[in-house]
Structure formats: C-alpha cells, structure tokens
Amino acid sequence: MKKRLAVFASGGGTNMQAIIDAINNNEINGEIVYLVSSNPKAGAIARAINNNISYGVYTLKDFENAKMRDQAILTDLKKYNIDYILLAGYLGIVTPVLLNEYRGKIINIHPSLLPKHGGKGMYGIIPHRAAIAAKEAFSGATVHFVDEGTDTGAIILQKSLPILPTDDEYSLQERILKNIEHKIFPQAVKLLCEDKVKLIDGKAIILEE
C-alpha cells in the first residue's frame, strides 16, 4: 500500500517538488495527498495546485494558540488518513498535539550539519551565514525525525560539501539546496515509505533486509 504523505511548507517548496518528482519517477512508495501551509503566499501552494494536491492554510493569527492550530491541522490530517508528515521549510512549531499522534512519523530537512547551526531562529539564510562565520570547512543538510526540540531529533541522513573560498551565504545555500537537500530528502522519504527507517529508543535505525 502506498503511504499517504502530508507536506508542511511555508516557502518556495523546492523540497516538496523534489519529492513530487521522485514520486513521479516511481522512486517512492507513497503519494502526497495534503499540503499544510502557514503562509497563504507560499510557492508550495502553487506547486500543490499544479499537482492536484489538496491544501490548507493555517496561520497562527487565526487561532488562539499553536495547540489550537495543530488541533485543526490534526483533524484535517485524519480526514486524509495521513501516514507520515514531511516538514519541508515549515516555519511553524509542531506542538505535542501533532507530535504525540505522529511520533516517529514526522521528519524535517534542515540546511546544516546538525547539531551545528540548528535551533530556534536558524532558518532561511541564517544557518548558511552561521556556517561561513564559524569558518567551517564543510556544511550540508540533515534529515531527522522531529521531537519536542527545534532541530534536535534523531538524524536519519546527513551529507556534506566543502565550503569554497569563493562561497558567500547565498552560493552556499544554493549548492546545499540543489546538490544535497533535493537528494537526501527524497532518499529519506523513500526509506520511510518502505518501512526501512524507524525511530527506536530515540535513535533513527535504518533496517536492511
């Protein structure tokens, strides 16, 4: 049975597009059936429309608090029988309302070599700026399970590339996005949809046959 996936995205949605492309190439045993966005102007919404994916916009200001927002999201995820949640540039904080229901079934992509340059406020260009400021030799991206913290969950896949003397934060961001994120995120989703990665005792365990 194909796994039913929900993508959560607030931005351009190029990582969501990488998943759509991998699904269309039959690389992933799943389908994206719902997009959750915190931003009515997210490029990810246009991608959902182009690919006949249903979507909902949940802006924090429309709810009393984040838990109430997540309650509304949870109700909709249940309608769509969602198996896994993929955070792909989602700027909302996932509260225990969703975490408790989908423990070990929510993954995130972050554009740094976690635990470096992660945590609150580390989104967009900021992790890349931080990696350059720290004079790191390498940077990269990480796919991890989501827990109560920000960017602290068990790591599933991580890949790096060298930071070049000619790099600025924007060139680094672009190379990491294209050369790493768009590859490791579909790879992790493939593992998830084939039941080949599990969260066991707080660790991401990849299962071989």
- Closer by beta carbon to ligand GRF, 15 or else 95: 15
Active-site residue (options: 110, 117, 128, 144):
110
Strands 197-200 and 30-37: unpaired
- Closer by beta carbon to ligand GRF, 17 or else 95: 17
Residue nearest ligand GRF, CB atom distance:
89
Closest approach of Cβ 131 to ligand GRF, in Å? 13
* Contact residues for ligand GRF, defined by CB under 6 A: 9, 11-15, 88-89, 109-111, 177, 181
182 has catalytic annotation: no
- Closer by beta carbon to ligand GRF, 109 or else 199: 109
Active-site residue list: 110
